[in-house]
Amino acid sequence: MNHLQHWGETLRLLVELAGTAAFALSGVLEGARKRLDAVGIFVVGFLAAFGGGTLRDLLLDQRPFFWVQHVEMLWAVLALCLLAMSFMRRHHFEATLRGIAIPDALGLGLFTATGVHQALVMDMPALVAVLMGLITGVFGGVLRDIVCNQIPATFSDHQPYAVCAFVGGWVYAGAWQLGAPGWLALLACVGITAGLRWLALWRNWRLPAWQT
Amino acid sequence: MNHLQHWGETLRLLVELAGTAAFALSGVLEGARKRLDAVGIFVVGFLAAFGGGTLRDLLLDQRPFFWVQHVEMLWAVLALCLLAMSFMRRHHFEATLRGIAIPDALGLGLFTATGVHQALVMDMPALVAVLMGLITGVFGGVLRDIVCNQIPATFSDHQPYAVCAFVGGWVYAGAWQLGAPGWLALLACVGITAGLRWLALWRNWRLPAWQT
Amino acid sequence: MNHLQHWGETLRLLVELAGTAAFALSGVLEGARKRLDAVGIFVVGFLAAFGGGTLRDLLLDQRPFFWVQHVEMLWAVLALCLLAMSFMRRHHFEATLRGIAIPDALGLGLFTATGVHQALVMDMPALVAVLMGLITGVFGGVLRDIVCNQIPATFSDHQPYAVCAFVGGWVYAGAWQLGAPGWLALLACVGITAGLRWLALWRNWRLPAWQT
């Protein structure tokens, strides 16, 4: 049993690392596309990776931030940005988010679950908790796009992204209400969020558009 | 007397609901104009409705937020956004802020009064209190416009809007200093803010422009 | 000795005033270039002057803000914005940041030192402290540019600016670790940050660019 738990913890950590790396890379790619300099790319990568969780902690009035408690994650993102930039300079590669779709979707699910969990622990109403999950998962990318001076892609590319996190967040809140064990709620939230996201990408689902 | 007080409370609630709805609608209209998807429109509507008060509470370090304490307002704005979107899809109506000018001006006045009041209760200096009123009334729209990737309309359309809230805020702070009863300060602030705003719209007042 | 200390304090205050004025002016100039109205220009001037420190205090969960404790600074920035605007209207002068490069660089150094200091006092890790210094020095301008709907100049003009603050911040953190007296750490941080900034402007140093 202890053995299993240990494996679960390791898996969770791996998903967290992969998700954070994918979020940071989405910032690096966006910054490179907008021709930011090295400082700008690091800031945008940092915002994409930690901005959502930081905004959630600000709103919930929680300290210390994730990246203060685990300052090694800051160093890791800093190193990742430097690596990605030196790689981009040499290989002239097409800036694309497609290559990081899998870890990005996993990260979206995990971050959403973390946000919902923290709000539920603080006895927030379910809708607020789900919004906190959404903010954790999605607002890193929103802040990234605001700094890059464009309408947040999540709100304008008409691909389901935040919607997947919204559904996954309700799954987590529901499992919590039903008294399910933590690992099950987490697994269900990540599975459904990431699964919906992959389905949406694969089947090319579109959110409704307005004829104004 | 109790009867009167009850009517006052009901009136205040009605203005608050009308103002919040007008602010949320301004977000929905802006989001539709920018061709956001359903998620984006909800976020922008939410930001326009609750962003100003949330920013004020963050700055004043106050919890819980209005929309955590009254989670039914969150549901109401969510429903309003859905209604507005389905209406817009069917009626192809010209997105305009003109139709919501009256509740919007009332909301501006009420939100400003609320912000000034909260800061005064915390013994903030008068100028800080007036700024908090301004932030409560105006920064929902500012955040809406930042997410929609445009210069905040309040700062660039050269129509008096924040200025009305600024004057109204000083009226509230002055009435407070003079020891006037709360309902009178509130009434004066809302009346003067909304009155100035209507006058500005009616007489087409313009703020000074620069020849740079 | 007391005499010397008094002079040191006065000097620090002068640098602080000059830096704040330079930051506020950078906001006024940016707002004028974007043809904001008077309200917008004041908000952008205020954001440029106080935004970085306010964001740092929000993140570190510290109150009261600098501009709440020293409300006379708010009045001063308000007066400065009014003065600058009336001057601009009469003199039709070329909006430029070049004229404020010297106080701006001094302010960058001082604000960075203040941010690093506050985080170190709270026992934050060195990297977090340096980031807090960076945020204090640089994010006023970032918020100014976000409200003015452009990519933050610090991240996209490929001139070293944040990098100077980053180096200066490490100098402060290093001096602190070595147990150097506060005035020496402050002097070293301001000197190196401002010195690097001037060198960068004078020698026209460029940050690396990407060929995407």
**Nearest-by-Cβ selection for C124 from A68, A147, A149:** A68
Residue C212 lies in a domain: no
A89 contacts on C by Cβ (under 8 Å): 208, 210-211
Residue C212: pLDDT band by 50, 70, 90 thresholds?
A: very low
Q: Is the peptide bond before B64 cis (omega within 30 degrees of 0)?
A: yes
Chains contacting chain A through 3 or more C-beta pairs under 8 A:
B, C
Q: Find which of B156, B159, B170 to mutate to test the C interface (most C CBs within 10 Å of its CB).
A: B156
**pLDDT at position B195 over 90:** yes
pLDDT tens profile B63-113: 999 999 999 999 999 999 989 888 876 665 555 656 788 889 999 999 999
Predicted pLDDT at B8: 77
Count the domains in chain A: 1
The pLDDT of residue C102: 86
Is residue B60 pLDDT above 60, yes or no?
yes
Tokens of B211: 């020849």
CA-wise closest residue to C160 among C129, C119, C192: C192
The residue of chain C with its CA nearest to that of B143 is: C147
Q: Decide if B53 contacts B136 (C-beta within 8 A).
A: yes
pLDDT of residue B212: 47
Is there a contact between C35 and B127 if contact means CB atoms under 8 Å apart?
no
Structural domain harbouring B157: 18-203
A209 domain residue, yes or no:
no
Q: What is the 3-state secondary structure (H, E, C) of chain C?
A: CHHHHHHHHHHHHHHHHHHHHHHHHHHHHHHHHCCCCHHHHHHHHHHHHHHHHHHHHHHHCCCCCHHHHCHHHHHHHHHHHHHHHHHHHHHCCCCCCHHHHHHHHHHHHHHHHHHHHHHHHCCCCHHHHHHHHHHHHHHHHHHHHHHCCCCCHHHHCCCCCHHHHHHHHHHHHHHHHCCCCHHHHHHHHHHHHHHHHHHHHHHCCCCCCCCC
Distance from CA of A25 to the nearest CA of C (A): 15
Tens digits of residue pLDDT in A185-199: 999 999 999 999 999
A63 to chain B, any CB pair closer than 8 A? The answer is: no
Q: What is the pTM of this model?
A: 0.93
- Mean pLDDT within A133-140: 96
Q: Counting one residue from B and one from C, how many pairs have CB atoms under 8 Å apart?
A: 77
C211 domain-assigned? no
Mean pLDDT value across residues C144-154? 95
Window from A9-13, A154-158, B172-176 with minimum mean pLDDT: A9-13
Q: Looking at residue B12, what is its pLDDT?
A: 81
A210 lies in a domain?
no
Q: Which residue has the higher pLDDT, C211 or A117?
A: A117
Helical spans, DSSP H, in chain B: 2-33, 38-60, 66-69, 71-91, 101-121, 126-147, 153-156, 162-177, 182-203
CB contact B140 to A (< 8 Å): no
| Mutation choice for C interface testing from B151, B170, B207, B211 by most C CBs within 10 A | B151
Which of the residue ranges A10-19, A154-163, B77-86, C124-133 has the most confident prediction, judged by mean pLDDT?
C124-133
Q: For the residues A96-109, what does the mean pLDDT come to?
A: 82
Of A45-54, B30-39, C108-117, the poorest mean pLDDT is in: B30-39
Question: Token digits for A38?
Answer: 């090295």
Neighbours of A125 (CB within 10 A): 19
Q: Kindly list the residues from chain A whose CB atom is less than 8 angstroms away from the CB atom of residue B74.
A: 127-128, 131
d(CA B18, CA B23): 9
Q: What is residue A94's predicted lDDT score, i.e. its pLDDT?
A: 55
Q: What gap in Å lies between CA B170 and CA B79, rounded to an integer? A: 35
**pLDDT: which is higher, C86 or B40:** B40
pLDDT at position B92, please? 55
Query: Is B155 at the interface with chain C, CB within 8 A?
Result: yes
In a domain, C208, yes or no: no
B212 found inside a domain: no
A212 found inside a domain: no
- On the question of pLDDT at B147 being above 70, the answer is yes
Average of per-residue pLDDT values in chain B: 89
Q: Provide the pLDDT for residue A148.
A: 96
pLDDT at B150 over 70: yes
Which of B58, B128, B152 faces C58 most closely, judged by CB atoms? B58
Instruction: Among C127, C151, C154, select the one facing A75 at the smallest CB separation.
Output: C127
Between chains, do C166 and A75 touch, taking CB under 8 Å as contact? no
Q: What is the pLDDT of residues C8-63, one digit of tens each?
A: 788 888 888 888 999 999 999 889 888 898 899 999 999 999 999 999 999 999 99
B209 lies within 8 A of chain C by CB: yes
Asked if C95 reaches chain B (Cβ–Cβ under 8 Å), the answer is yes
Q: How confident is the model over C84-89, as a mean pLDDT?
A: 79
Give residue C1's pLDDT band: very low, low, confident or very high (50, 70, 90): low
For chain A, the average pLDDT equals: 89
Report the residue of C62, C124, C135, C155 to disrupt the A interface, i.e. the one with the largest count of A CBs within 10 Å: C155
Query: Is the CB of B35 less than 8 angstroms away from the CB of A156?
Result: yes
**B5 falls within a domain:** no
Whether B131 and chain C come into contact, CB under 8 Å, resolves to yes
